[in-house]
Structure 1
């Protein structure tokens, strides 16, 4: 494979690895692309999702074949040409996917430097689990193997076999970051400045209550709404933010193993601020251990905050839960808390939606065109099964169900429901308006006093 000729220009590849502030770095660099270019650094554009998270430049130079991500030389060549036409001296690329492509990249770019961070392996384990719940719909409690995973260490050991590899590793220790953030620390390595840079929390960690709530929703199969729920849970500050899911005796064992891993890695590649990283690993565990099988003491505050932050989405969640009532994971303190804080209006609207979706079982089968309104059954059963409060008027329940039937183009059913509502509230202006509209559609004659 031929290598690209860069002349006096060079390439820097930031490869993460995962859980070392990559999203924050990429977000800041992308925002300040023009400032970087003024300082001689060419940072290509890349996509960012609604959470501020990105795959970086992987799709600028790669594609996927049979599930495997591989370099696309044609794409890479085009990017190199764009870089060479610029006045920049350095091409900066960033993606966690590059961690597994270092050999391939070094084969086609000779003048390249690889930069990555080394984080406390215990934090990587916990953070990785949290990410699996947040983004990959994991619903299981955290697994605690006797031995810390060696995947990352083994990967670096493989890279040691690559000839002439220029690898720069830095300790991921927030207290020792130059400038106080991982972004400022990374910029110091590049010898660049980002004017008016303000640190942002990208892909923020969940509180304990948020993590357990998301894990429960994962178990129920809440998939389509998962990204929006993730965004909301990241915003909320309610709940316990400092915690560990690793008990003390296992944590102590992990500390010894992590120290060995870091020391062994330093024999392969030098780690800037290695001693600070070792000190952090061996610091006494100050975060309280929380058992995932226990109840969640601050769940109510979390649920109220979730409802107040986005009432419409909260209403969607309540409707989803009503449809999940037969799921084995449904019955829990979480369901009780969510329904407890549903407002009356939310409850009525969701009852209507649920009733339309379950019309046959709730209303004793399809309602014929000639069925008198007072023979429509199921209202009392509906109130009891969904625990509708006594102060919720039957007329409102029927009216809202009729409106939902209309939205689903079930006009005949909507007409029957609205007639029943009219019998209970004969002077309701919306009820009268809708009855007239439905009657016109169905070719019926409507008098205000119709029952």
Structure 2
């Protein structure tokens, strides 16, 4: 009888970080309670991980990841002699490595687990992530229809390899899941009992509020000498801004929702999506959030700078000085910096120690 390999491929912005964080913290329970082997992997201080990609994906700077079959075979050799019947792997990077995993389908029962999220939500979440981590400084592009996304790739994979290799599950935010995404995921292996009712499911790698999104997008115009990651972590702790917003105008939102439903229905016709009806109902009843035109408004700049000065005045002062020293500042940049400077001054006056610290930083 063949052993099974379940490959969770994400894709991005479908709760992958939450799942990997929980799984990595409960490896012993998985090993003891089932025949599922989940290899250990690291998580950073924010509980964010890229999963198992480092076990057998080689990444050279500036190039796409390549699948190391020799390293993967080493993992399989250990799995073959172990008592486990099932190997569970997880990484968003595996989504585009599905053809490589399929090379092992004769020896092993291969299943790819993928969550299906409406595209209009997905593209906003991905855009937010690009501002956070990839130095995106342009407003979100709007088109009549959503261009090629992971759902199109999923259709191609199912067409090429057959639906028997895919386990698709619906994904929505807030109260979409009956319990939570971890219970939903573990139900595949009949292990959802491992999630106790009072388990705290942390929010990991959360999206920015509108205030922080536009502040970070503005700072992405400048070379920050390694301050980007520090700024990202601080902005994720900001809770005073507008978190219930959309960047998509009304008619575009309507078009995007209709397109998402068509594509999800097409996928379900090819390969049944668990909770498909709930997903369609979720799309129908979800109301558009408050539309925000992308611009770093003065009032939002003031709020974010005040927050940063309270959190870490020294860092905020350093950020201001670094941006102020940049070449080719626009008139808009100078206006924002004048507000930035004013708020720093107010923060100093509220705390005598900061005035002393500010002199040391000059």
TM-score (norm 2): 0.88
Return 5+ residue gaps in structure 2 as ranges. none
Decide which of 132, 135, 158 is 2:133's aligned counterpart: 135
Match of 1:150 in 2: 148
Match of 1:116 in 2: 114
Whether 1:214 and 2:225 are equivalent positions in the alignment is no
Report the Cα offset of residue 221 of structure 1.
2.5
Whether 1:261 and 2:259 are equivalent positions in the alignment is no
Alignment of 1:167-246 (within 5 A): 167-174=166-173, 175-179=175-179, 181-192=180-191, 193-194=194-195, 197-222=199-224, 224-246=226-248
Match of 2:320 in 1: 318
Please tell me whether the aligned partners of residues 211 and 296 of structure 2 are also in contact (alpha carbons under 8 angstroms): no
Alignment of 1:425-440 (within 5 A): none
Name the structure, 1 or 2, with higher relative contact order (CA <8 Å, separation 6+).
Answer: 2
Instruction: Give the secondary-structure state (helix, strand or coil) at the position aligned to 1:140.
Output: coil
Please tell me whether the aligned partners of residues 163 and 270 of structure 2 are also in contact (alpha carbons under 8 angstroms): no
The 2-side partners of 1:203 and 1:277 are apart by: 23
Report the Cα offset of residue 333 of structure 1.
5.5
Whether 1:282 and 2:277 are equivalent positions in the alignment is no
Cα 1:169–1:221 shift into 2, 3 Å: same
The 1-side partners of 2:331 and 2:86 are apart by: 53
Deviations 1:217-247 (A, max 9, x none): 1012325111111111111101111000011
TM-score (norm 1): 0.71
Report the Cα offset of residue 206 of structure 1.
0.6
Cα 1:299–1:313 shift into 2, 3 Å: same
Please tell me whether the aligned partners of residues 143 and 252 of structure 2 are also in contact (alpha carbons under 8 angstroms): no
The 1-side partners of 2:65 and 2:295 are apart by: 38
Structure number with greater Rg is 1
Instruction: Give the secondary-structure state (helix, strand or coil) at the position aligned to 1:147.
Output: coil
Instruction: Give the secondary-structure state (helix, strand or coil) at the position aligned to 1:331.
Output: helix
The 1-side partners of 2:327 and 2:244 are apart by: 33
Return 5+ residue gaps in structure 1 as ranges. 1-6, 355-451
Decide which of 74, 93, 96 is 2:92's aligned counterpart: 96
Please tell me whether the aligned partners of residues 209 and 296 of structure 1 are also in contact (alpha carbons under 8 angstroms): no
Match of 1:23 in 2: 17
* Residue range with higher mean Cα deviation, 229-238 or 286-295: 286-295
**Runs of 4+ more than 4 Å apart:** 345-354
Please tell me whether the aligned partners of residues 115 and 168 of structure 1 are also in contact (alpha carbons under 8 angstroms): yes
Instruction: Give the secondary-structure state (helix, strand or coil) at the position aligned to 1:101.
Output: helix
Please tell me whether the aligned partners of residues 295 and 333 of structure 1 are also in contact (alpha carbons under 8 angstroms): no
